[in-house]
Amino acid sequence: MSQQQTRTFPARYDSLAAIDRFVADAAERAGFDSGAIYQVQLAVDEACSNIIEHAYGGEGRGVIECSRHIEDGDLRVVIRDYGQPFDPSTVPEPDVDADLEERTGGGLGLFFIRHIMDEVTFDFDIENGNVLTLVKRKESAC
């Protein structure tokens, strides 16, 4: 799978399972171990959930374009939406050592994305929308 493959999904929560299969299939072909495949699934699910909830402000208001590409054993997933621009620096890092009462569960999605992928890049422009690039390198995945 040296060439890039792109698929477009309705921006709905019931698309998440299909997006999951699309990227997990690529991670399997890249030869990743089961833990790394799970991490890619988690990061992509969190990214797409955030797009539906925050960029589009709800279900059924746009599309999510997902591309997968394996190069030199590394997996690159590019996720594009055409919702509101997203500035990840506005999302505070959750305190994962806090007591139960202080936990809200907010910010965990972005926290997972940042901690389990090797490269995380957010881009936005009017024509191209929000573009999130996620890379899992073979060194951390096999």
Q: How far apart are CA 86 and CA 54, in angstroms?
A: 8
Residue with smaller CB distance to another protein, 53 or 118:
53
User: Which of these ranges, 36-44, 61-69, 77-85, 119-127, lies near another protein under the rule CB under 8 A?
Assistant: 36-44
Does 53 help bind another protein (rule: CB under 8 A)?
yes
Residue with smaller CB distance to another protein, 100 or 126:
100
Q: How far apart are CA 92 and CA 99, in angstroms?
A: 17
Does 62 help bind another protein (rule: CB under 8 A)?
no
For the chain, helix, strand, coil in percent to 5 are 40, 25, 35
Does 114 help bind another protein (rule: CB under 8 A)?
no
CB atoms within 10 A of CB 61: 15
Which DSSP letter does residue 68 get?
E
Does 127 help bind another protein (rule: CB under 8 A)?
no
User: Which of these ranges, 1-9, 10-18, 85-93, 130-138, lies near another protein under the rule CB under 8 A?
Assistant: 10-18
118 by DSSP, 3-state: which? Answer: coil
Q: Which amino acid is at 118?
A: D
Residue 95: both structure tokens together = 């305190």
Does 6 help bind another protein (rule: CB under 8 A)?
no
User: Which of these ranges, 11-19, 67-75, 83-91, 131-139, lies near another protein under the rule CB under 8 A?
Assistant: 11-19
Instruction: Taking each helix axis as running N to C, give the angle between helix 34-50 and helix 108-116, from 0 to 180 degrees, rounded to the nearest 10.
Output: 140
Does 134 help bind another protein (rule: CB under 8 A)?
no
User: Which of these ranges, 46-54, 61-69, 118-126, 134-142, lies near another protein under the rule CB under 8 A?
Assistant: 46-54
